[in-house]
Amino acid sequence: MDIVFFGTPQFAVPGLERLLAHPELAVRAVVTQPDKRRGRGNQLMPSPVKEVAVAHQLPVWSPKSVKKDQETLERLRATNADAFVVVAYGQILSQEILDMPRLGCINAHGSILPYYRGAAPIQWSLYQGELETGITTMLMDAGMDTGPMLMEGHTRIALMDNFFDLAGRLATIGADLLVETLLRLEQGTLQAVPQDNDRATYAPLIKKADYQLDWRKAAIALHNQIRGFYPGCHTSFRADQLKIISTAPLGPSFWSDLPAAIQSLQPEWSRFMAQTANPGQVISIAKGLGPIIQTGDGLLLLLEVQLAGKRPQSGSDFANGSRLTLGEQLGE
Under DSSP, is residue 315 helix (H, G, I), strand (E, B) or coil? helix
Neighbours of 64 (CB within 10 A): 10
DSSP H or E run through 45: strand 43-45
Residue 78 neighbours by CB under 8 Å, 6+ apart = none
DSSP state of 218: B
State the pLDDT at residue 198: 98
Contact present, 31 and 61 (Cβ < 8 Å): yes
- The one-digit pLDDT tens for each residue of the chain (332 residues) are 999 999 999 999 999 999 999 999 999 999 999 999 887 778 899 999 999 999 999 999 999 999 999 999 999 999 999 999 999 999 999 999 999 999 999 999 999 999 999 999 999 999 999 999 999 999 999 999 999 999 999 999 999 999 999 999 999 999 999 999 999 999 999 999 999 999 999 999 999 999 999 999 999 999 999 999 999 999 999 999 999 999 999 999 999 999 999 999 999 999 999 999 999 999 999 999 999 999 999 999 999 999 999 999 999 999 999 999 999 999 97
Contact present, 20 and 56 (Cβ < 8 Å): yes
CA-CA distance, 166 to 218, in Å (whole number)? Answer: 23
Instruction: For residue 313, give the nearest of 323, 321, 304, 325 by alpha carbon.
Output: 304
State the pLDDT at residue 135: 98
CA-CA distance, 46 to 328, in Å (whole number)? Answer: 44
Instruction: For residue 35, give the nearest of 43, 27, 25, 24 by alpha carbon.
Output: 43
3-state percent helix, strand, coil for the chain, nearest multiple of 5 = 30, 25, 40
Under DSSP, is residue 176 helix (H, G, I), strand (E, B) or coil? helix
Angle at 228 between CA 222 and CA 231, to 5 degrees: 90
CA-CA distance, 254 to 258, in Å (whole number)? Answer: 6
Q: Are strands 26-31 and 60-61 parallel, antiparallel or unpaired?
A: parallel
DSSP H or E run through 138: strand 132-139
Query: pTM to 2 decimals?
Result: 0.96
Angle at 8 between CA 189 and CA 155, to 5 degrees: 55
Q: What are phi and psi of 227, to 5 degrees?
A: -80, -30
CA-CA distance, 228 to 231, in Å (whole number)? Answer: 8
State the pLDDT at residue 42: 82
- Domains of the chain, first to last: 2-199 (3.40.50.170), 208-321 (3.10.25.10)
188, amino acid identity: G
CA-CA distance, 223 to 221, in Å (whole number)? Answer: 5
Burial of residue 212 (CB within 10 Å: 0-12, 13-18, 19+) is middle
Neighbours of 302 (CB within 10 A): 28
State the pLDDT at residue 249: 98
